């Protein structure tokens, strides 16, 4: 199966000149690793958040978004989360990518220059037209939510 290639322009800021561009760990990975472009160590206390710079700006093409997601290893081993996951970088945003990280663990978490802190996935965004109606078509589930379809 051939996958469509999407070209995304990347601008590396001076703060990231020595860091690699985002890349996939293996050919079949969905996400590209983003690295911390911190000048010195950055500590995140338990329960605290930090906006970690990547030193990168991107131009996402129209009809797409870049999603910022947690790295599973950081989440499992250190309880480091992306609280607005997935974070969205819109096609018209041109500022530096900063990753919001939350330390949900019990210990201070230290980020060092070049650490892989999150994943970036490029996803299509459909053109949506909202159509206002007086009533919605009924379904078997109806208005049930928040666990209404079973445990877990």
Which are the contacts of 67, defined by CB distance < 8 A and separation ≥ 6?
Answer: 86, 87, 88, 89, 120, 121, 122, 123
pLDDT attached to residue 146: 77
38, 97, 104: which is closest to 68 by C-alpha? 97
Q: What is the mean pLDDT of residues 98-113?
A: 98
53, 47, 51: which is closest to 109 by C-alpha? 47
Q: Could you tell me the residue ranges of all domains in the chain?
A: 9-124
Fold for the domain defined by 9-124: Deoxyuridine 5'-Triphosphate Nucleotidohydrolase; Chain A (2.70.40)
Q: Tokens 């990975």: give the residue.
A: 29
How would residue 142 be classed by pLDDT, with cut points 50, 70 and 90? confident
Tokens coding 72: 């599973």
How would residue 1 be classed by pLDDT, with cut points 50, 70 and 90? low
How would residue 143 be classed by pLDDT, with cut points 50, 70 and 90? confident
Q: What is the mean pLDDT of residues 10-35?
A: 96
Q: What is the mean pLDDT of residues 4-30?
A: 94
Q: What is the pTM of this model?
A: 0.87
């Amino acid at each position: 199966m051939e996958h469509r290639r999407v070209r995304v322009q990347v601008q590396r800021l001076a703060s990231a000149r020595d860091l690699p561009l985002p890349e996939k760990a293996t050919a079949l990975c969905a996400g590209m690793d983003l690295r911390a472009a911190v000048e010195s160590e950055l500590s995140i206390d338990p329960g605290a958040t930090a906006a970690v710079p990547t030193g990168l700006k991107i131009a996402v093409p129209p009809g797409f978004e870049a999603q910022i997601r947690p790295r599973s290893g950081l989440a499992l081993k250190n309880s480091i989360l992306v609280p607005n996951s997935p974070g969205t970088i819109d096609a018209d945003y041109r500022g530096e990518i900063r990753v919001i990280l939350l330390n949900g663990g019990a210990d201070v978490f230290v980020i060092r220059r070049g650490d892989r802190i999150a994943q970036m996935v490029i996803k299509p965004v459909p053109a949506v037209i909202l159509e206002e109606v007086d009533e919605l078509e009924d379904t078997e589930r109806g208005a049930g939510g928040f666990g209404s379809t079973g445990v877990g």
